[in-house]
Amino acid sequence: MSRARLALLQSNPVVGDIAGNAEQIVAAARRAVDAGADLLATGEMALTGYPIEDLAAEPSFLRAASDGVRALAGRLAAEGLGELPVVVGHPDGPHAPRLLGATNAPTAIAQNCASVLHRGEVVARYVKHHLPNYGVFDEYRNFIPEDDSLVVVAGDARVAVIICEDLWLDDGPVARVRDLGADLLLVVNASPFERDKDEVRLPLATRRAAEAGIPVAYVNLVGGQDDLVFDGDSFVVAPDGSLLARAPQFEEHLLVVDVPLHGTSVPAAAEPSLDEAGSPNRVAVLPDDREQLWSALVLGLRDYVEKNRFPSVVLGLSGGIDSSVCAAIAADAIGADRVHGVSMPSRWSSEHSRSDADDLAARIGLHYSVEPIAGLVQPFEEQLGLAGVAAENVQARARGVILMAKSNQRGHLVLTTGNKTELAVGYSTIYGDSAGGFAPIKDVPKTLVWELARWRNAAAQARGETPPIPESSIAKPPSAELRPDQTDQDTLPPYELLDEILDAYVSRRLGREDVVALGFDPETVRFVANLVDRAEWKRRQGAIGPRISGMAFGRDRRLPITVRRAPWVE
């Protein structure tokens, strides 16, 4: 019975760090050779990180990437690893746009490639056929496609190589794989995490494996890159639908797997092969929904901090649920010792705000300080004669100034703790509580913030640890506390209702009438939709934060600030 032993590298590259990313690949090649692998494959653009955005239009960057591929081939050979075929993802260029027939895409002078390195040379290259240019993807802007095929011979196997989006199209290159006489289909991916995306990817790959009649090996990147989080979840699926191996989500991993070829179908247990620890084909179990989301938020924050080399983070602790959850995420991401929380009570802050913040700080063990703002705000109020919203906003802005000053003093990254619901309706003070370089829960609706808080506490309890988030922060009615006895629900519909309307209006892009047709009160829909439309200018100036949905503010939803919607909806 024939088989191929594949090593799939689920790596966490840093965008632009060609030398560092190449080191990850060399180290993996060493382990792959030790494990007797026939082929090593990386994720899409593993050499440069993904997405490179308009770096694709910088000739010097593309030259560095092209040099980097050749250098990596040489380096592997010099290390005695040259016999192992390595499929590595990278951008290629610069190419003259005209030579590529792309007169209407003057900035796209790059190609999205997977190259085969062998015996010190770049021996073959596949160029991505289908360029996603929707949602978070801008590949038609940055790359030029081709439509040639590639088959790599690895041991007994003929391995057809495609890249990411190529797998998704019914009339894509998978349809040609049979004609190529391939025994195995390798898909090189940079597929960002979204809630429930694993419910799409694996069935898709399974369908393609059945269509082509050969196993599909799916290798993905892992790690945070600005607002995207790559979740890994690399796997191999047989044409009969059996899952031969699956790498853990949200971790760097080298998945070594024996893949039966030519229609042989052997249960993994009966045909032991090696993962990196020398154990049989590993089939990692996917964590449940909440754990996946929490892990994505943690990884997104961790990688933003580490890749940008921040020593620590600072955030305001109001005693409320949002800042509490952000603090818990930060502590899980980089350790409580690198997290600085500041309680900034005003004259309107309740006793529980202060005590809940104290409690949170103690539970998590983060650095904690208290900076009352009354003495900072009063001079503004008096000099400018402030009242109403203007006075409320000065309180929030004084807090922003405090956190930024602490950042200037100590190099902390400032976290801004707004959730997706607030961002949607503009329920925040720009340059105030929205100040910061990273927004850990910007793609988390308020109702999900509560759910994640409860999940995180329960997870702690299950492990015999102290739940990080005070029960009181979860249970009490949310309030901005910018005036006496204020609660969010004085101004906004109940969050359960609000999040449902936002899901329809924002995430599903429904028109106002279509939202009303779902059964919501027309006046409430109008009120909410107007808030959403008017807050676009604030969102445009907001911090980035990890995307966990299929419709995050930012890359997914690109709308004009200047727009008159009323005439066509009312």
**334 near a copy of itself, judged by CB under 8 A:** no
In the complex with a copy of itself, the residue whose CB is nearer, 139 or 183, is: 139
d(CA 273, CA 280): 5
What residues pair up with 553 in beta bridges, in sequence order? Answer: 557
Least distance from C-beta 24 to a copy of itself, angstroms? Answer: 13
**175 near a copy of itself, judged by CB under 8 A:** no
Least distance from C-beta 260 to a copy of itself, angstroms? Answer: 31
**568 near a copy of itself, judged by CB under 8 A:** yes
Structure tokens, 447: 């109702």
Least distance from C-beta 121 to a copy of itself, angstroms? Answer: 21
**200 near a copy of itself, judged by CB under 8 A:** no
In the complex with a copy of itself, the residue whose CB is nearer, 1 or 563, is: 563
d(CA 126, CA 236): 21
In the complex with a copy of itself, the residue whose CB is nearer, 210 or 551, is: 551
Residue 17: closest CA among 309, 299, 255, 310: 309
**170 near a copy of itself, judged by CB under 8 A:** yes
Size of the site for a copy of itself (CB under 8 A): 100
Out of 544, 545, 546, 549, point to the residue binding a copy of itself (CB under 8 A): 544
Backbone φ and ψ for 318, nearest 5 degrees, come out as -95, -5
Backbone φ and ψ for 297, nearest 5 degrees, come out as -65, -40
Least distance from C-beta 376 to a copy of itself, angstroms? Answer: 5
SS3 string of 353-414? HHHHHHHHHHHHCCEEEECCCHHHHHHHHHHHCCCHHHHHHHHHHHHHHHHHHHHHHHCCEE
44 in active site: yes
Segment 434-463, which members bind a copy of itself (CB under 8 A)?
435, 437
**168 near a copy of itself, judged by CB under 8 A:** yes
Least distance from C-beta 55 to a copy of itself, angstroms? Answer: 7
Out of 430, 444, 525, 532, point to the residue binding a copy of itself (CB under 8 A): 430
Residue 7 identity: A
Instruction: Say if residue 15 is exposed, middle or buried (CB neighbours under 10 Å; 0-12, 13-18, 19+).
Output: middle
In the complex with a copy of itself, the residue whose CB is nearer, 25 or 376, is: 376
In the complex with a copy of itself, the residue whose CB is nearer, 168 or 455, is: 168
Cβ-based neighbours of 287, under 8 Å, separated by 6 or more: 249, 295
Backbone φ and ψ for 305, nearest 5 degrees, come out as -65, -50
Least distance from C-beta 568 to a copy of itself, angstroms? Answer: 3
d(CA 483, CA 480): 8
Least distance from C-beta 540 to a copy of itself, angstroms? Answer: 7
Least distance from C-beta 539 to a copy of itself, angstroms? Answer: 11
113 in active site: no
In the complex with a copy of itself, the residue whose CB is nearer, 360 or 439, is: 439
d(CA 313, CA 305): 8
Residue 309 identity: R
**195 near a copy of itself, judged by CB under 8 A:** no
Q: How many CB atoms lie within 10 A of CB 388?
A: 8
**176 near a copy of itself, judged by CB under 8 A:** no
Residue 550 identity: G
> Which one of the spans 79-87, 231-239, 264-272, 511-519 is the region binding a copy of itself (CB under 8 A)?
511-519
Tell me the helix, strand and coil percentages in the chain, rounded to 5: 40, 20, 40
Residue 371: closest CA among 418, 315, 310: 315
Out of 386, 459, 460, 531, point to the residue binding a copy of itself (CB under 8 A): 386
Residue 83 identity: E
Least distance from C-beta 271 to a copy of itself, angstroms? Answer: 37
Count of residues making up the chain: 570
In the complex with a copy of itself, the residue whose CB is nearer, 218 or 495, is: 218
Structure tokens, 34: 């030790």
Structure tokens, 508: 């599903």
> Which one of the spans 257-265, 393-401, 473-481, 494-502 is the region binding a copy of itself (CB under 8 A)?
393-401
326 in active site: no
Out of 26, 266, 283, 404, point to the residue binding a copy of itself (CB under 8 A): 404
> Which one of the spans 220-228, 271-279, 477-485, 487-495 is the region binding a copy of itself (CB under 8 A)?
220-228
In the complex with a copy of itself, the residue whose CB is nearer, 13 or 85, is: 13
d(CA 190, CA 75): 25
d(CA 39, CA 120): 15
Structure tokens, 462: 């299950």
d(CA 159, CA 299): 32
**491 near a copy of itself, judged by CB under 8 A:** no
Least distance from C-beta 351 to a copy of itself, angstroms? Answer: 22
Segment 344-383, which members bind a copy of itself (CB under 8 A)?
371, 375-376, 379-380, 383
Least distance from C-beta 547 to a copy of itself, angstroms? Answer: 14
**527 near a copy of itself, judged by CB under 8 A:** no
Out of 270, 409, 463, 519, point to the residue binding a copy of itself (CB under 8 A): 409
Segment 223-262, which members bind a copy of itself (CB under 8 A)?
224-226
Segment 42-101, which members bind a copy of itself (CB under 8 A)?
49, 51-55, 57-61, 63-65, 68
d(CA 546, CA 438): 9
Distances (CA, A) of 374 to 118, 314, 320: 67, 21, 19
In the complex with a copy of itself, the residue whose CB is nearer, 84 or 222, is: 222
Out of 5, 130, 363, 456, point to the residue binding a copy of itself (CB under 8 A): 130
SS3 string of 77-112? HHCCCCCCCEEEEEEECCCCCCCCCCCCCCCCCEEE
Which position among 139, 164, 165, 481 bears the catalytic label?
Answer: 164
**569 near a copy of itself, judged by CB under 8 A:** yes
Residue 106: closest CA among 118, 94, 92: 94
**405 near a copy of itself, judged by CB under 8 A:** yes
d(CA 326, CA 456): 12
d(CA 333, CA 33): 33
Which position among 23, 53, 58, 128 bears the catalytic label?
Answer: 128
Residues known to be catalytic:
44, 128, 164
